[in-house]
A and B are shown apart, each in its own frame.
Chain A
Amino acid sequence: MVSTSENKNYKVIGTRPIRHDGYDKVTGRAQYGADIKLPGMLIGAVLRSPYAHAKIKSIDTSEAEKMDGVFAVMTSKDLPRLGDVVRGNSEESGSEKHLSENVMAFDKVLYKGHVVAGVAAKDQNTAFEAVKKIKVDYEVLKPVINVDQAMAKDAPILHEDYTGDHLGKKVKNSNVAAHARHEVGDIDDGFKKSDLVVEKEVDMQTVHQGYIEPHSGTAVWDEEDRVKVWTSTQGSFSVRDSVSKVLDLDVSRVKVTPMEIGGGFGGKIPIYLEPIAAVLSKKTRRPVKAMMSRTDVFDATGPGPGGKVKVKIGIDSEGKILAAYADIRLEAGAYPEAFIEAAAKCVFSCYDVPSMKIDAYDVLVNKPSSAPYRAPASPQVAFATETVVDEICEIKGYDPIDFRLMNVAEKGTRTALGPKYRTIGLKECLEAAKNSNHWKSTLDSNPSPGKKRGRGIASGYWFNIGFKSSVNLSLNPDGKVALTEGSTDIGGSRASIAMQAAEVLGIAAEDVRPSVVDTDSIGITDVTGGSRTTYATGYAAYNAAHKLIEEIIEKAAIKWDISEDQIEYSDGIVKSKTDSELKMTLKEIADDPPGGPIVSSASVDLEEAGGGFAVHIADLEIDEETGKTDVINYTAIQDVGKAIHPSYVEGQMQGGAAQGIGWALNEEYFMNEDGVMLNSSYLDYRMPIALDLPMIDTIMVEVPSEEHPYGVRGVGEPPIVPPVPAIGNAINDALGLRLLSTPMKPSRITEALKRKK
């Protein structure tokens, strides 16, 4: 580990205790979304569109309704029609109308797998059989399945009633939901003065988050029009928000209980089945649970957007970047929002660029509505930028780390969207990369006949959001602390949040017991996403722990009848500053404290944590005859701010790298021209398995964030950004080939090698 902060004497932070939810998870006791069972529960199933683009002319549910064991059938007629109101923040924006239409199609289906009807029946088999009896009359339309098709003249239009914003102009009948531009300085002048200008366009395929646990939704709609929902989500409050909007209920009528979550990576932020289960429950007065299959998950839930990104960079004769231009076209899927603002923020984020211009297009296509996927849109744009940078280094003979250091973004560097960086750690990461054993090692470029090896390096960025979090603490009579919070735990955040409270209180991590509770039991807490949870909910825990100490001192003052300023607290002991006789442990003060139990709560609404940067080094071995690529060495270097629980930070770095390697080498939505995904199973959607990855070495660089008392930055997202260009650059190093489309799969490699010969 590399650390730039002076080594503070933390007792809990930086240690590696067993996570509080560990035993439940490894023994199988933990309850995930589909594990919920309620008395009298029915099973819900949905009918999905076989077409990627069609008008719904009519739906006949009569045969299904007549079936034995079927309790209710619903269509979008059972949902309120919502207006076109825009809401929300960066990770969950969109209109209510679109939110509702994505749950169940009203007039048009916009992707294969779009839900058109739902059934509640006594069991799954009956529900599936009933769904088959629903007859839908479609008028099939031509789909558009990539940005080129969607932006072509005379392209079929997904949303005829939608008004897009093109550089401030209101535009109808376009699949471009938005065109935004960001400009800094004069790029024409910058390119004119440049000694070398390199331009590349990359083509990214649609990818899926690939969480192990499919989506599910369970709901009870009671006689008072109160709706209880159980689901696996990254944000119980965002589910409450979304469900109440789709059902047109006040938020207080909806209570969401988050179940354990088997992965999300951003894809468990949107809602899908929850409102359908609720409406079916309303109709049947019984609990209803609906679940997805893996194919449903691929066909109809949030992929990460594909798209095309063009980047042009000009440098002067010294190697200093003068100007940069990006043209970013990302697939929003069926409804707007492909994170183009995030793309613009990230595309040149690693460099100090005096003049830049970024055009970003949010493009509607007949694919499932894209959802956040780990640093949404950043890997897509990094592939273009980092490939261009690698090519500049290749042409000019620059060392790729030295070139990046020469142009490095640091504190005070102006970003594309305006604000200047506060303290960031990219420079430190590049230096750590340069000093790493991996970078200093040599690689045999031709280890055996027909085998070539190559090394690539790339950097990447995520900005890390802040927002709202709440934490409650309660001191139990045994002197231990119960912590309740609203952040669903996707990657060890119970531990990382509890550890911050434990550090303040000076007690062991095990003595703070965290629980993730329902939306009626804790203050509003934004999603577990944007790498905000350890930062923001951890900050709330830090504040709540300080408030708990104030309470403890207050109670001790009453008990001892001395003034509060005579009392101090440290490491689980409250004592008088002057009278050594007056001293209590937490257990002693918690036993019948005067004026009632000792509790505290805190909430925060934070700014961004300060960006996180990653630098990855990849070594590949490629079989020239078959195109098979093996990753043989891999090192992930990242500025993690302060690693609260280093094992989980390393896990995030390794997990992000593993997913990024998957994007680079094999993952894609393989679709036919009708917009049907042909590889919607784990057999053919080729994510890397354990045998496909080497040990991913990690180097944690700690440059504390200015925004957090312990210096925490988000760590979950930066590591998925560099892998695609790092692998692409390594392929170029091995074979002298620039592959500009993902995935860089074996057939692309052998076919490109043949063309080269």
Chain B
Amino acid sequence: MHPFNYYAPETIEEATEILKKYGDRAKCLAGGTDVLVQARGEKFELDAIVDVKKIPQLTKLEWTDSHLIIGAATPCHVLYEDPKVCEVFPGIIDSAFLIGGIQIQSRASLGGNLCNASPSADAICSLIVHETTCEIAGPKGTREIPVEDMCTGPGKNALESGEFLVSLKMPLKKGKFSASYERFIPRNEMDIAVAAVASSLELSNGKVSSCRVALAAVGPTPIFAKEASELLVGKEPTDENIKKVSEKAKDIASPIADMRGTVEHRKDLIEVLTRRTISKALERVGG
């Protein structure tokens, strides 16, 4: 393993300086549950590791009138130990509780999971169906992008040289809203999704006013299945209507066959999981 420098900046500006200086030869360290394993496995060679956990904005959990803001390095356990997050965003908790075991959840963050940009990431689909916005800092100041634009390929994200993720912003819905995330693994824990789906929906007057479905492990990045989601908007959430969404989601899925699953099985799983997550979200909103 190539030797590298370790930095622990305390401000966004300081972090930006270091990241700018090292460019591609630096990586951010949040929980380290991906980066350290990859560095040891020599997936890349680094000159600098920039620990961002000492920057206050990166580890916050803040409620505003309109949003929940989660620092990019806020560990998963902070989320599922917060009763209000559990109540308002059970779909996010589905993900936070699935990433690794308890030890990993004490370190790992949703932001890290997002930046790692694995096609099978457990947090990204949930962030997509919660209409999350990424707040990014960099040499040119800050910018915001929708989370569904963050992943650009397996292990690749939209961050430019010197940029890093500061926080994730999720809107607070006025209506009856909930979400759910479910992954399929052949075992009961300690595994990576063969296929996974997050679904969210908002109900008003018995009809679906908004819906989002996102798919993981069935493409080079997690997929926002927009065309499938739209099929339910303005409709009653009947089994028949949900089935249409799940069939469409299955069409959208474009998995590869590998050691974790076959194309056919993964597509079938997307159909099953879409149905199950929409039903679960519906159950959660009390619809």
Contacts and interface: CB of A to CB of B under 8 A. Distances in A.
A379 B169 CA distance: 54
B262 A751 contact: yes
Interface in B168-190: 184, 186-190
Contacts of A688: 187
Interface string A663-682: 00110001000000011001
Interface stretch (A159-167, A595-603, A622-630): A622-630
Q: Which of B189, B190, B192, B264 has the most CB of A within 10 A?
A: B190
Contacts of B261: 747
A678 B258 CA distance: 9
Contacts, number: 53
A628 B268 CA distance: 13
11 contacts: A627-B265, A670-B259, A679-B259, A683-B190, A683-B191, A683-B192, A684-B259, A689-B188, A745-B186, A746-B184, A747-B262
Contacts of B73: none
Contact of B269 (A125, A626, A665, A686): A626
Nearest to B192: A683
Nearest to A670: B259
A543 to B, nearest CB: 47
Contacts of B188: 630, 689, 691-692
Contacts of A625: 268, 272
Nearest to B189: A691
A750 interface: yes
Contacts of A686: 186-187, 191
Contact of A692 (B187, B194, B258): B187
Nearest to B188: A691
Interface in A709-757: 745-747, 750-751
Contact of A665 (B186, B194, B264, B265): B186
B264 A691 contact: no
Given A686-B186, A747-B261, A747-B264, 11 more contacts: A125-B1, A625-B268, A628-B184, A665-B186, A678-B258, A689-B189, A689-B190, A745-B186, A747-B265, A751-B262, A751-B264
A625 B260 CA distance: 17
Contact of B259 (A630, A678, A682, A691): A678
Contacts of A439: none
A630 B259 CA distance: 20
Contacts of A403: none
Interface in A398-441: none
Interface of A: 125, 128, 625-628, 630, 665-666, 670, 678-679, 682-684, 686, 688-689, 691-692, 745-747, 750-751
A242 B61 CA distance: 61
B187 A751 contact: no
Interface in B64-112: none
Contacts of B184: 626, 628, 746
Contacts of B259: 670, 678-679, 684
B190 to A, nearest CB: 5
Contacts of B192: 683-684
Q: Which of A626, A679, A751 has the most CB of B within 10 A?
A: A626
Nearest to B190: A689
Contacts of A747: 261-262, 264-265
Contacts of B186: 628, 665-666, 686, 745-746
Contacts of B3: 125
Nearest to B271: A625
Contact of B1 (A128, A670, A678): A128
Contacts of A630: 188
Given A691-B187, A692-B187, A626 B264 contact: no
Contacts of B260: 684
A125 B192 CA distance: 30
